[in-house]
Every structure is written in C-alpha cells, then in structure tokens.
Amino acid sequence: MPASPNPASSPKAAPAPFYEQVKQLILRQIHSGAWPPHQKIPSEAELVAQLGFSRMTVHRALRELTSDGLLVRMQGVGTFVAEPKGQAALFEVRNIADEIASRGHRHRLEVIRMQSETANGERSMALGVREGQPVFHSLIVHYENDVPVQIEDRYVNPAVAPEYLDQDFSSETPYVYLNRLAPLTEGEHVVEAVLASAEEQQLLRIPAAEPCLMIRRRTWSGRRAVTSARLLYPGSRYRLEGHFGS
C-alpha cells in the first residue's frame, strides 16, 4: 500500500474523521483485490508508518472494520481480510411472488384458512402476546405455474395487523401486506428437513414418503413481533439456496 500524507497538512483534506479515512484506504485495498480474502494485512505499527496517522486512529479503524465483519483479528497472529459475506433467499425474507416472477414464471395463491385462534404457550411466546389472547392464523398454498411449491402456515399479531383476516390476498401476498403495515426490521430462521402431514401432502400433491424443507420464521418491526410462520417446500420441486461467510 502506498504511503498517504497526513490529511492535516493538506489544504484539500476530506472532512471525514481520520479513522474513517483509514477505513476507506483499507477498504480500497480489499475491494480492488489488492488484499484478497484470508490475506494478512500490515500490522498497526506498519499502517501507522505507511499512512502517517496516529496509532489510536489506526487502531479504531481496524477495530470497526473487524466489528463490521470485514477483517478478522487473531491475537498474537495478526489481522486478516475476512471471507466476503453473501445473501440469498434462504437467509433473506423475500416475497415468494417476486422470486417466482424473477424466473419468468406465474405465481398464484390459494387461501385454505383464515381464522382467529386463542394463543397457546408457543404462540404467545413467538408473538409476544399473553397466553389466551386471540391471534390470527392463515394457511395459504403458493403455486408456480399452477404447481404447489410452498405452504405458508402463518400466525399474525393482531395488534400489528388488526384487519388481517379481512384481506383476500388476490392482488398481494401476506408478506407485502404486512411489510407495508409494519416494515420488517429483524427476522429469525430455523431450517429443518421434515415429512408433511396428511393434509399437507394433499395440498402439495406429494406422496407420503417425500421429504420436505421447512423454514420456521419469525419477524419483527422495531420491538414488536409481527408474525410466526412455518413455510413448507416439497423437496422434489424446490431448492433453497444461500451463501454465507465466517
């Protein structure tokens, strides 16, 4: 990395704090490929000598880049460029209608049930409501080119969407409707391999022995739990993809 003059001596210095300037210089090396993943970067002392900033400034820049997941610091060994993180549908909360449309296919849904139920212990914990309070329950099948590809078994917090049961969802999915009322700020996923129940086999048109992929998903808007959903995909027709980095 070429040396950079101390911004304090330059009349055209950027207004950003010095540690932010150090972060940008390091990010430039990473994004350009000069410092690829897993490469050990110069030590704090070496960066101080190269860049002309104080050790405190360089230390803060490295600390924040490590906190952001862009660097990995190993005590007694050094600091390394982290493997870049990626995102895909498995780790994101996306609208299934958009996913199907992106493949050039046609989406439609069928509402099987829309009803109010009494929250048991599991539902009360998942949605942050008192046990015995009403919660909204919808069971919906999503189709791709008229082939069932997902069962959406969703419980909704009535305090967030009091008119949820009045929606027919012919023009938008529950995801779109709920995200408009309470924009998603946090999500939780648990993925399992399961066998479908007898009703689910019939809805998905699959044999009893066919394995399915299931995502249990909870979402929040701010501090309020919005939904708790169980999403079931037939293993022979759907693939969940995702990328991650350490």
Q: Where are the domains of the chain?
A: 7-81, 96-234
DSSP summary character for residue 87: -
Nearest to 81 by CA among 70, 90, 89, 92: 70
- What pLDDT is recorded for position 82? 80
CA 202 to the chain's CA centroid: 31
Half-sphere exposure of 214 (CA within 13 A, CB side): 15
Per the CB < 8 A criterion, the answer to whether 85 and 69 are in contact is yes
| pTM of the complete model | 0.62
Per the CB < 8 A criterion, the answer to whether 79 and 40 are in contact is yes
pLDDT in tens, 27-46: 999 888 899 888 899 999 99
What would the mean pLDDT of 134-161 be, rounded to a whole number? 96
What would the mean pLDDT of 68-86 be, rounded to a whole number? 74
- What pLDDT is recorded for position 45? 93
* Span of 1-5, 143-147, 177-181 with lowest mean pLDDT: 1-5
- Burial of 164 per CB tally in 10 Å (0-12, 13-18, 19+): buried
- What pLDDT is recorded for position 242? 54
Q: What is the CATH number of domain 7-81?
A: 1.10.10.10
Q: What sections of 79-155 are H helices per DSSP?
A: 96-102, 121-127
- What pLDDT is recorded for position 74? 76
What would the mean pLDDT of 135-153 be, rounded to a whole number? 95
What would the mean pLDDT of 218-230 be, rounded to a whole number? 93
Task: List beta partners, residue 211.
Answer: 195
CA 40 to the chain's CA centroid: 29
What span, in angstroms and rounded, lies between the C-alpha atoms of 239 and 242? 10
CATH value of 96-234 in 3.40.1410.10, 3.20.20.120, 3.40.190.10, 2.60.40.420: 3.40.1410.10
Residue 9 has pLDDT above 70, yes or no: no
Amino acid identity for residue 52 in this structure: G
- What pLDDT is recorded for position 8? 46
Amino acid identity for residue 205 in this structure: R
| Residue 157 falls in which region: left (phi positive, over 0), alpha (psi -120 to 50) or beta | beta
CB-CB neighbours of 92 under 10 Å = 10
Torsion sign across C-alpha atoms 107, 181, 91, 113: negative
Residue 47 has pLDDT above 60, yes or no: yes
